[in-house]
Structure 1
Amino acid sequence: MSSVALDIGGTTDAWLQSLVAESSAKDPNQVNEPQVPRVPSEFREMKENTDCYEPLVVSIGPYHHGKEKLEVMEKLKAKMVGQFVKDSIEAAEEMYDKVKELVSDARACYEEESTRQFNDEKFTRMMFLDGCFILEVVFKKLEKQKLRKQEVTSITRDLFLLENQLPFRVLIPLMRIYTRSGHHSAEEQTSSSKPSWSSERIDQEFKKTVEDFFKSIHEIPLQRESCWEKISIFFSELPRSLILSKDTGPYCKLGIYDHLLHFFYFKFVYGKGQHKRKRRSNRETTSWNRYYSVNELKNVGISFVPSNTSVFVNVNFKKTFLGGALCIPPLNIEDSTKSLLLNLAAYETCAGLYSAKCTSYVCFMRSLIDKPEDVKELRSKGILRTTIGTDDQIAQIFKEMTTNLVPKPSAYRDVKESVESHYRNTLKRWILQYKDPISKAVVKYSFIVGIAVSALQAYLAQTKQRTGYGICSCSI
C-alpha cells in the first residue's frame, strides 16, 4: 500500500490533492495484458480442472516448453520441419529470417518472466519450429506421420489451450511464405499462377483452410443448412458478391485475431454477423429468475429441441400454445470438450469480453443439468451427444466446469424471462399438470361405461328376442 493511503493526517485539501497525484502516477509494476496470457489463477483453483489447461503431448510457445512429458513431440516437430526444409530450403530460410525479424514482437506477446530463459536465437528457433508445426497440422500433413488416433486427438486438443498459442503476428507471415512456396500442396507446386497471389488472396485461402481444420473439432457439430436456407443465403449474398470480388469485411482479415483460439472463439462463439459489440441499454439489467432443471421444465410442458447452428452458445425459447421449447445447439461431449470450453472461458476473461458468452453458456447448461436424468433427457433429444462416461459423469463434468465461473448477469435474459413467465402461469401449469391424470381418468371411465353400455345393449337384444318367440308360439 502506498504512503499516501497510509497518511491520513494533515489538512483535507492537502490530503485530497495527494489522492489526485496518486491516481495520476504511473505504476511501474503495471504491465499490459499480453496477447497470449496465462490462465487466471481462479480458474486453476479447482483441482479437478487443473489438467484442462496443461498440454498432454505438445507445447507451443514458452509457457510449457521443455517439460519432460512433451519431449517426444519435440522430436516429431523437428522431424516434420526437417522434411519441410529438405523440400523447400529457400522458403524455410525466408521463414526463419522473418521470425528473426519479429522476435521482439513475439516476446511481447507472452508474459515477460516466461521468455527470460531464452536468448533471441533460442526463442527464434522455438517460434520457427512451433509455427511450421502448426502449419503442417492445419494443412493436414500430420496424417503422414505414424501416430495413433489418440495422439492425433491430443495434439488437436493441445492447440486450443490458452497458454499454448502462437501469435498470429508470427504465424501469418510464415503462412504466406509457406503458401507461396506451394509446400502445402503437391498440385500447387506445379502451378505458376499461385506464387503471384496477393497477401489478401493467400490470407483468404488460409482462413478457409483453418475453418476446414476446425471441422475436425468434434465437440462443435457442423451446421446443417436446409435447402431453403441455402437458397436464402445465396440470394441474400448475391448482390454483395457482384459488387465485391472477395470478402473484405473487417472480420475476414486474419490480422485482427491474436491466435488460433481467438479465431476459433469468433467462429463458434460469436459467429458470422454477430461481431459488432452491442450497446448497453437501460433494459440490460440483471434478471433475477430461478433456475430450473431439464426435468422440472419438462414437467410443466417445456420441451427441448436441437437447433441448427454451429454457434453453440445460441440458445432460444419458442412459445407454443400451452408450453414452449428451448432450442439448444447440439454439443458433443468428448474427452477434450471440458478443456476446450474452459479455455474459451479463460480467454474471454483475459480479453475482458463483457459479453462472456462461453462462460454464460456453460453456466446456463449447468443450471439445466442437475441430475443424471437431465443428461438422459438432453441425450434423447440429440442435444448432448456423448461418447464418454455415464449420465452421472456428464452431469459431474458440468458441475466441475462452473466452479469459480461468473456468468454475465443479463445473459440469456429473454430466455430466462420466457421460462419464468411460463412457469408462473398457473392455468397452463394446472392444465399440463393434470392433463395426464384427467386423460387417464377419461379413458378409464369411458372404458367402464363402454362395457356397461355394451352389456346393456346385449341384454336388451336378448330380451327382445325371447319376447318375440313367445308371441309367435301363442298365435300358433
Structure 2
Amino acid sequence: MDEEWVIELNQELKRLKDEALVEECQWGKRSIYKVPTRMTDKNKKAFQPQVVSFGPYHHGEEHLMPMEEHKHRALFHFLERTNMSLQSIVDNLTKVVEDLKDSYDLLGDDWQSETGRFLRLMVLDGCFMLEVLCYYDRRDRFGNYAPNDPIFSFPGNLHVMPYIRRDMLLLENQLPLRVLIELAAGIYPEKRHAREFVNRLIFWFTKSISSDTRECLHLLDIFRKGMLWSSPIERRGGIIHIFDDCEITVSATELHEAGISFEAIGTGRTIGRIEEISFKDRVFRLPFLVVDDTTESMFLNLMAYERLHVGAGNEVTSYVYFMGTIIKNVRDVILLKSNYIIQNGIGSEEAVVELFKSLSKGVMYNPNSIVGWVLRDINVHRRKPWVKYRANFFHGYHVSTQWNPWAYWSIIFAILLFTLTVVQTAYTIFPYYRQNK
C-alpha cells in the first residue's frame, strides 16, 4: 500500500506535467522583471524611479503621485492632437491585454484579476510615454502644449525631462513595446506604418538605433541593442570559441606603457558601439562614453536585464567588467579623457574610479564576448619580448616620478651623456685609423 505522501507527490508531479507547456510559453513572453534583492544591494535607488512610474511595479508610490496629474493631461493632448477617441485606444489594447500581462514577471494577483484597472494603467502610462517620445522627436517638439507647461516646455526640458528619461530606462519601469505600437495604430491603421512611427520616435530618444524594432521588447531592450549594434556570434561567423587567454589585469596606463594607444569610437553626436571595439596595429579602439549622474543607474539596469532575461547576452556586463579593470586610478581616467574615451560629467577623477570599481564588483565576465576576443589579441601583443622591455622601462620611470620628478631629467641627461661619449670616442679613433691607412 502506497504511503500517503507518495500519492500526494505523484499528484503534484502530474499537475506540473500538465502545466509545463503552459509555463514554458508564459516564460517566453516575459521581458519586464522585478530586480531581486541580491542585485539591488549595490544601490537600491538605481533601480527605483525618481519622478514617474510606468507599469504596475511602482504604480501608486507616494513620491511618484504628483506625475499622475500630468499623465491625465498628456492623454488629453494626445487625443486632441491625433483626433482619436479614448474608446478606440481601449479597444486596441483590449485585443492584446493578456499578452501585455504576460510580459511582466511576478505580476500581482490584483493586476491579473482586475483587467480594467490594468488597461487603464496601460492607457495612461502608454500615452504619457508616447508623448515624451514625441517630445524628443525634433519635428514634434512641444506639440500642442502651452509655453509654460511644467513638463512639455523649455523649462520642463531643463528641469524635469532628464529625470523622466532616466526613469524610462529602468528595468522595473518598462512598458511592453506593443503598447506604444497599439496606441500609434490609432493614428496609422496599418501596423507597418504605426511601427515606423514608433521607430522614428525611439530613434530620437535613444540616439542609438535606427533599424526595425520588431525583435525588441521595450525601451531598455532597444537602448541595449543600440549599444551593441549586433551580436558577437554574427560578428565571428556564428562560431563560438572559448579562450583561456582573454583576461586582463593591467590598467589603461600600463597598456599605454606597453606601446598601445587609445582611440575613441564616436564622439559628440556619433554613438560608439560595443560591437566596434577592436585592437589593430597597436591601437585599442573603445566607445566614447559620457560618465554622468545617470551612468550608474543605466549600467546597473542593463546588467540586471542581461542576468534575468534568458538569451539577452552578456555584452554590456563584460564591457563594464573590462572598464572596471583598466580604470584603477586617477592616471587611467586622465589618460582615457585625453584620448576622448571618457567625458567626465560627475566631477573628480576619483569619482570615476570609484564608480567603475563599484559597478564591476562581483560581475561575471563572458570570455566569448566581443571584449573577450579583443583582449586575447592584446595579450598576444603584450607577450612579445620587446613590448615587455618597453613596458618595464616606462613603468619603472613612471613609478619613480611619483616621488622624484627629476627622474625624467636624469634619463635625458644620461642619454645625452651617452651620445656625447660615443661622438668623442669616434673622433678619437677616426684620426688613428686614417693615419694607418
TM range (shorter): 0.7 to 0.9
Distance in 1 (CA, whole Å) between partners of 2:391 and 2:363 is 35
Distance in 2 (CA, whole Å) between partners of 1:419 and 1:346 is 29
Q: 1:145 and 1:66, CA in 2 relative to 1: closer, same or farther beyond 3 A?
A: farther
Shift of 1:384: 0.4
In the alignment, which residue of structure 2 is the partner of 1:314? 276
Distance in 1 (CA, whole Å) between partners of 2:133 and 2:293 is 21
In the alignment, which residue of structure 2 is the partner of 1:35? 31
Give the TM-score, by structure 1 length: 0.70
CA displacement 1:215-267 (0-9 Å, x = unmatched): 3xxxx7x9xxxxxxxxxxxxxxxxxxxxxxxxxxxx95434221111122222
Matching residue within 61, 67, 73 for 1:73: 67
Does the Cα contact within 8 Å between 1:354 and 1:408 map onto a contact in 2?
no
Distance in 2 (CA, whole Å) between partners of 1:111 and 1:433 is 53
Q: 1:75 and 1:286, CA in 2 relative to 1: closer, same or farther beyond 3 A?
A: farther
Q: 1:440 and 1:150, CA in 2 relative to 1: closer, same or farther beyond 3 A?
A: farther
Distance in 2 (CA, whole Å) between partners of 1:439 and 1:26 is 80
**Higher RCO (C-alpha under 8 Å, 6+ residues apart):** 1
Q: How many pairs align?
A: 383
Shift of 1:422: 2.5
Distance in 2 (CA, whole Å) between partners of 1:275 and 1:144 is 44
Is the aligned partner of 1:132 residue 2:127? yes
In the alignment, which residue of structure 2 is the partner of 1:166? 175
- Other structure's SS at 1:36 match: coil
In the alignment, which residue of structure 1 is the partner of 2:317? 359
In the alignment, which residue of structure 2 is the partner of 1:407? 365
Q: 1:145 and 1:85, CA in 2 relative to 1: closer, same or farther beyond 3 A?
A: farther
In the alignment, which residue of structure 2 is the partner of 1:15? none
Matching residue within 191, 200, 217 for 1:199: 191
Is the aligned partner of 1:377 residue 2:335? yes
Distance in 2 (CA, whole Å) between partners of 1:89 and 1:201 is 17
In the alignment, which residue of structure 2 is the partner of 1:188? none
Does the Cα contact within 8 Å between 2:184 and 2:197 map onto a contact in 1?
no
- Other structure's SS at 1:209 match: helix
Matched letter for residue 35 of structure 2: V
Shift of 1:198: 3.8
What is the 5 A alignment of 1:166-315?
A: 166-178=175-187, 180=188, 198-215=190-207, 252-271=211-230, 276=234, 281=239, 283-287=241-245, 289-308=247-266, 310-312=272-274, 314-315=276-277
Is the aligned partner of 1:105 residue 2:64? no
- Identity, in percent, stands at 26
- The structure number with the bigger radius of gyration is 1
Any unmatched runs of 5+ in structure 2? 136-141, 143-150, 395-407, 429-437
Distance in 2 (CA, whole Å) between partners of 1:408 and 1:432 is 27
Matching residue within 321, 346, 354 for 1:388: 346
| Structure 1 vs Structure 2 CA RMSD | 3.6
Q: 1:279 and 1:334, CA in 2 relative to 1: closer, same or farther beyond 3 A?
A: same
In the alignment, which residue of structure 1 is the partner of 2:415? 442
Does the Cα contact within 8 Å between 2:181 and 2:194 map onto a contact in 1?
no
Shift of 1:299: 1.7
Shift of 1:380: 1.2
Give the TM-score, by structure 2 length: 0.76
In the alignment, which residue of structure 2 is the partner of 1:95? 89
CA displacement 1:142-198 (0-9 Å, x = unmatched): 5337526232101001111111111122221112214x3xxxxxxxxxxxxxxxx74
Does the Cα contact within 8 Å between 1:55 and 1:158 map onto a contact in 2?
yes
Shift of 1:444: 4.1
Shift of 1:203: 1.9
Shift of 1:346: 1.5
Distance in 2 (CA, whole Å) between partners of 1:427 and 1:254 is 49
Matching residue within 35, 44, 50 for 1:56: 50
Matched letter for residue 441 of structure 1: A
Q: 1:146 and 1:94, CA in 2 relative to 1: closer, same or farther beyond 3 A?
A: farther
Q: 1:86 and 1:428, CA in 2 relative to 1: closer, same or farther beyond 3 A?
A: closer
Does the Cα contact within 8 Å between 1:40 and 1:346 map onto a contact in 2?
no
- Other structure's SS at 2:276 match: coil
Matched letter for residue 343 of structure 1: N
Matched letter for residue 430 of structure 1: Y
Q: 1:88 and 1:252, CA in 2 relative to 1: closer, same or farther beyond 3 A?
A: closer
- Other structure's SS at 1:254 match: coil
Does the Cα contact within 8 Å between 1:62 and 1:115 map onto a contact in 2?
no
In the alignment, which residue of structure 2 is the partner of 1:185? none
Distance in 1 (CA, whole Å) between partners of 2:248 and 2:274 is 23
Distance in 2 (CA, whole Å) between partners of 1:276 and 1:114 is 38
Shift of 1:333: 0.5
Shift of 1:88: 4.9
In the alignment, which residue of structure 2 is the partner of 1:237? none
Shift of 1:378: 0.6
CA displacement 1:302-340 (0-9 Å, x = unmatched): 121112453145321122xxxx22111110011111111
